[in-house]
Amino acid sequence: MDAFAKLQKLAQQASAADIMTIVSGPAERENVLGKMLVIPHGQEPDGQLLDPVFTAKLLAFRDAHEWIKPQVFQVEYHGNYQCFWDRLAMKPRALILGAGHISQPLAELLAVVDYEVVIADDRPDFANALRFPQAAQVICQSFEKLMLQLPLAEFSAIVIVTRGHRYDLDCLRVALLQASGYIGMIGSKRRVASILTLLQEEGISRERLSRLHAPIGLDIGAQSPAEIAVSIVAELIAFMRGGKHLPLSEQWRSCHGS
Amino acid sequence: MDRNLLDQIALARQQGVSAALITIIDTKGSTPRKAGSKMLVYPDGRIYGTIGGGCAEADVKLKALQAIQDRHSFIYQINMVNDVAAEEGMVCGGIMQVFIQMI
């Protein structure tokens, strides 16, 4: 797989990567201009550029410098090379199914924490771009069709907050099979229990069902739509970052025995 | 580099179209866009994306079309500070280096 194909694949997975491109070099090395090295974040580089020594020089430069913006830097290696350091940095995407009262503050908060937000509902009055100025996309479509059309695996988070039980179930069924990130669904304990029982009877494995965050959100005593949105986003952040869902003060006390 | 651009690059390659990727790699003074901005130039003269529009972009596009013929990648500098540039309507007053890269 060459650099562009690798980058496209990383972009589809919403992964970040450093990109090093040789933009100038000694006259006799014109053939290396435009050659690229892709270094996915948290991983080893994908192959090498020129040879292991040159590649190591690029990595050393990256490790020694904080990323601020795309820049050119010099590399001495049997002559003078210039490399361009760029980045693939994708916003993670969140899908909100249902465009009701909670969805509005939820979309706002997700945008603040830098998600690209997509919202869908089957009611034109609700799935309305004017109600969601922060959303990248607002889709008006029946949930059934929508779940067939959307590339669910590309979303880091799917939040199911439709207006009704039946639609929640339609969405959840497909999301559990196709999505790979966070899946959360709103509902009372009783409603969640009945949905889970139903899906189990339909043959969806316990393991798959265990991926569902329902009832959605952290227990912060949220009441208003905006508070519930905070509780959902808090749970999502904890999921993405491996957080413990606990007050930091409690952790501090348990460490310090007071 | 963003996903939409990468999709366009993949599409061009799939179709066997030899396009050029233009990247602003350095700017000095006032320029419409900064390092990292990108644009694709297709052999038929179409473009995807922008490096700031105007005369500078048109100039780079011509260079890129030549480069596509010769199949080689290189750095090209656009000077928007001198009198000629002002007469041509490049009014930003900066210097911009772009890398023209075969994809």
Whole-number pLDDT of residue B2:
80
Strands (DSSP E) along chain A, which ranges? Answer: 17-24, 36-40, 71-76, 80-88, 93-97, 116-121, 137-140, 157-160, 182-185, 212-213
Q: How many angstroms separate the CA atoms of A139 and A244, rounded?
A: 34
Cα–Cα separations (whole angstroms), residue A41 to A19, A90, B2, B3: 10, 12, 16, 16
One domain, residues A230 and A109: yes
Q: How many angstroms separate the CA atoms of A102 and A229, rounded?
A: 6
Q: How many angstroms separate the CA atoms of A114 and A91, rounded?
A: 7
List the CATH number of the domain containing A177: 3.40.50.720
Q: What is the 3-state secondary structure (H, E, C) of A135-174?
A: CCEEEECCHHHHHHHCCHHHCCEEEECCCCHHHHHHHHHH
Is the per-residue pLDDT at B17 higher than 80?
Answer: yes
Which chain A positions have a beta carbon within 8 Å of B9's beta carbon?
A: 4, 8
One domain, residues A173 and A202: yes
Which ipTM did the prediction report?
Answer: 0.89
Flag whether A117 is in a domain.
yes
Flag whether A104 is in a domain.
yes
Q: Determine phi and psi for B30, rounding to 5 degrees.
A: -90, 120
Whole-number pLDDT of residue A179:
87
State pLDDT tens for residues A92-121. Answer: 899 999 999 999 999 999 999 989 999 999
The alpha carbon dihedral of A45, A51, A54, A60 has a sign of positive
Final residue of a structural domain among A88, A103, A118: A88
Query: Where residue B87 falls among pLDDT bands split at 50, 70, 90?
Result: low
Q: How many angstroms separate the CA atoms of B3 and A256, rounded?
A: 47
Amino acid occupying residue A96: I
Is A23 part of the contact surface with chain B (CB cutoff 8 Å)? yes
Supply the range of the domain harboring residue A97.
Answer: 93-241
**What is the bridge-based pairing of β-strands B47-49 and B38-41?**
antiparallel
Whole-number pLDDT of residue B85:
52
Flag whether A253 is in a domain.
no
Task: Pull the structure tokens for residue B94.
Answer: 């900066």
Flag whether A208 is in a domain.
yes
Neighbours of A210 (CB within 10 A): 8
One domain, residues A62 and A120: no
One domain, residues A133 and A208: yes
Best mutation target, B73, B97, B98, to test chain A (most A CBs within 10 A): B73
Flag whether A247 is in a domain.
no
Judged by DSSP in three states, A132 sits in coil
Best mutation target, A84, A86, A93, A137, to test chain B (most B CBs within 10 A): A84
Best mutation target, B25, B27, B74, to test chain A (most A CBs within 10 A): B25
Whole-number pLDDT of residue B80:
78
Region of B66 please: left (phi>0), alpha (psi -120 to 50) or beta. Answer: alpha
Flag whether A246 is in a domain.
no
Locate the chain B residue with the closest alpha carbon to A11.
B3
Q: Determine phi and psi for A173, rounding to 5 degrees.
A: -55, -50
One domain, residues A119 and A198: yes
Whole-number pLDDT of residue A104:
97
State pLDDT tens for residues A44-60. Answer: 898 899 999 999 999 99
Flag whether A192 is in a domain.
yes
One domain, residues A174 and A140: yes
Cα–Cα separations (whole angstroms), residue A72 to A75, A78, A83, B101: 10, 19, 5, 15
One domain, residues A82 and A14: yes
Judged by DSSP in three states, A85 sits in strand
Cβ of A24 within 8 Å of Cβ of B75? The answer is: yes
Closest CA to B3 of A240, A136, A62: A136
One domain, residues A113 and A137: yes
Cα–Cα separations (whole angstroms), residue A69 to A19, A64, B88: 12, 15, 30
Flag whether A250 is in a domain.
no
Which chain B positions have a beta carbon within 8 Å of A155's beta carbon?
A: none
Is A16 part of the contact surface with chain B (CB cutoff 8 Å)? no
Locate the chain A residue with the closest alpha carbon to B34.
A70
- Whether the bond into A215 is cis, omega within 30 of 0: yes
State pLDDT tens for residues A29-46. Answer: 989 999 999 999 888 898
Question: Percent of chain A, pLDDT > 70?
Answer: 99
Q: Angle at which helices A165-178 and A189-201 pack, to 10 degrees?
A: 50
State pLDDT tens for residues B28-66. Answer: 887 878 899 999 999 999 999 989 888 889 999 999 999
One domain, residues A66 and A183: no
Is A11 part of the contact surface with chain B (CB cutoff 8 Å)? yes
Task: Pull the structure tokens for residue A250.
Answer: 């409690």
One domain, residues A77 and A102: no
Final residue of a structural domain among A72, A88, A104: A88
One domain, residues A114 and A237: yes
For chain A, the domain total comes to 2
β-bridge partners, A212:
A183
Q: How many angstroms separate the CA atoms of A18 and B7, rounded?
A: 18
Work out the widest C-alpha separation in chain B, in whole angstroms.
Answer: 43
Final residue of a structural domain among A88, A107, A141: A88
Element (H, E) at B55: helix B54-70
State pLDDT tens for residues A166-185. Answer: 899 999 999 999 988 999 99
One domain, residues A137 and A198: yes
Comparison of pLDDT for A210 and B4, the residue scoring more:
A210
